[in-house]
Chains A and B, each alone.
Chain A
Amino acid sequence: MNWTWFHKLGSPKWFYEISGCWLPGLAWAAGLLIVVGTVWGLAFAPPDYQQGNSFRIIYIHVPAAILAQSIYVMLAVAGLVGLVWKMKLADVALQQAAPIGAWMTFIALLTGAVWGRPTWGAWWVWDARLTSMLILLFLYFGVIALGQAIGNRDSSAKACAVLALVGVINIPIIKYSVEWWNTLHQPATFKITEKPAMPMEMWLPLLVMVLGFYCFFAAVLLARMRLEVLRREARSSWAKAEVKARVEASR
């Protein structure tokens, strides 16, 4: 396998150049997919036979929950790369992805509560799925706080990487909580091995929304990382030249 692309990521300048090429495409794809998915899901997908129209919150809730977990796995991978290969960019990715993940977790919890009130009859229940999701939110807060609290960049990177790695154990717990324990939250509608427990005209807009959320995350992450890379490399000549060019272009 060719690992050149991986080793090239060690160069912030190379990352800055290549991410600049990807960013507009990702941003457009995110905007397009989310608009199409929202209109399709809210206006054209059929209502549910039991819940009526209130099930439509799934088109925000499920993508946000999937992203919240995927982003944490990404934090752990970045933490592993940072600890083992000592790659500086891994720490940039970890620090910049954490707030996005925290927001996604918050959106999933909030939409879940709004849906739970009419469907279950309760805003919040301390069942295994909801509680493990709340722990995920606190793990994100922990990573963000740890990154801000330690002044030395190397030790802060190390501490965050360890916390991100250890916290990743929560992810399978979230995923399988609905199967291991009795919970109020229903089991997964989508399984890799089985057909979805939902007709195609309902899950297609959901798929569009999930892809849109992934593109949105990638675009926001790249934009945040580019800014952070410029800030950290402020003394290098390429970063100075880039900032100068940007300032002159905006005049």
Chain B
Amino acid sequence: MNAVRKKRLYIVLGILAGVAVAVALALSALQQNINLFYTPSQIANGEAPTDTRIRAGGMVEEGSLKRSGDSLDVQFVVTDFTKEVTIRYRGILPDLFREGQGIVALGKLGTDGVLVADEVLAKHDEKYMPPEVTKALKDSGRLPPTKEG
């Protein structure tokens, strides 16, 4: 490579490195705003604002789902395996909602620490499996039986 090209290459790479550092700094400063939801630990530590609508996300705890007999009211506990938050919701839950599944709930945090949600989204994980494999895994006890719907 001749000297002129080498110089141009260094200038271009220098600009790229500079912009990368600037973007990295901006993103780390905005860290809190980019996160889609607060985890139960963050809510328990008081990092989530109480006066505005927030999103809370985590796993629906096994056996915590309580449905009301005469209305669409549901109550369940969301956990990140260190802290928990109780969520109340009225409405139809998404198809993939089940215990042991990740969800994101949008709502306002009450003073009693209960999140009153007006929207519940199911979070899908990265695992894909044919139904027969799931059944075989469950039969052999390698998969908790609550994974099915």
Binding site for B on A (CB under 8 A): 46-51, 55, 58, 80, 83-85, 118-122, 125-128, 162, 165-166, 168-169, 173, 181-184, 186-189, 197-199, 201-202
With A84-B5, A128-B34 known as contacts, the answer to whether A47 contacts B131 (CB < 8 A) is yes
With A125-B36, A169-B19 as given contacts, are A51 and B31 in contact (CB-CB < 8 Å)?
A: no
A197 to B129 Cα, complex, angstroms: 8
Which of the residues A49, A80, A169, A182 comes within 8 Å of B131, measured between beta carbons? A49
* A46/B130 in contact, CB under 8 A: yes
Contact A189 B124 (CB under 8 A): no
B126 within 8 A of A: yes
| Residue contact A122 to B27, C-beta cutoff 8 Å | no
Which residues of B1-21 are within 8 A (CB) of A? 5, 8-9, 12, 15-16, 19-20
Q: Can you add 7 more A-B contacts, CB < 8 Å, to A51-B96, A165-B12, A202-B130?
A: A49-B148, A120-B123, A121-B119, A125-B36, A126-B36, A184-B36, A188-B126
Q: Report chain B residues within 8 Å CB of A84.
A: 5, 8-9, 12
Interface membership of B125, Cβ < 8 A: yes
- Our pick among B23, B35, B95, B119 for the contact of A118 (Cβ within 8 Å) is B95
Q: Report how far A82 CA is from B133 CA in the complex, Å.
A: 51
Q: How far is the CA of A83 from the CA of B120 in the complex (A)?
A: 49
Cβ-defined contact, A184 with B104, below 8 A:
yes
Query: Which B residues are in CB contact (< 8 Å) with A181?
Result: 31, 34-36
Residue of B nearest to A85 (CB): B5
Q: Chain B's nearest CB lies how many Å from the CB of A247?
A: 40
Q: Given contacts A169-B20, A181-B36, A182-B37, are A197 and B8 in contact (CB under 8 A)?
A: no
Give the complex CA separation of A127 and B124 in angstroms: 14
> Contact between B126 and A186 (Cβ–Cβ < 8 Å)?
yes
Majority-rule SS of A interface residues: loop
Q: Which residue of B lies closest to A130 (CB)?
A: B36
Interface residue B81 (Cβ < 8 Å from any Cβ of A): no
Contacts of B104 in A (CB 8 A): 184
Residues of B within 8 A of A125 (CB): 36, 121
Q: How far is the CB of A4 from chain B (nearest CB, A)?
A: 15
Cα distance A48–B131 in the bound complex, in angstroms: 6
Cβ-closest 5 pairs across A and B: A46-B130, A121-B94, A49-B134, A127-B36, A198-B128
> Which of A83, A187, A201 lies at the interface centre, i.e. has the most chain B CB atoms within 10 A of its CB?
A83
**Does B142 count as interface, using CB distance less than 8 angstroms?**
no
Q: Identify A201's interface contact among B16, B23, B119, B130, CB under 8 A.
A: B130
Q: Which residue of B lies closest to A80 (CB)?
A: B12
Complex contact B126–A199 (CB within 8 A): no
Contact of A49 among B34, B38, B119, B129 (CB under 8 A): B129
Flag if A186 contacts B121 (CB, 8 Å): no
In the assembled complex, which residues on chain A have CB atoms less than 8 Å from the CB atom of B125? 186-187
Distance, CA A46 to CA B132, complexed state (A):
9
B39 within 8 A of A: yes
B122→A49 contact, CB < 8 A: no
Closest Cβ neighbor of A202 among chain B residues? B128
Interface pair B9/A48, CB less than 8 Å apart? no
Closest beta carbon of chain A to B81's beta carbon, Å? 15
CB distance from A198 to the nearest CB of B (A): 4
On whether the beta carbons of B122 and A189 are closer than 8 Å, the reply is: no
Report A159 CB to chain B, min CB distance, Å. 14
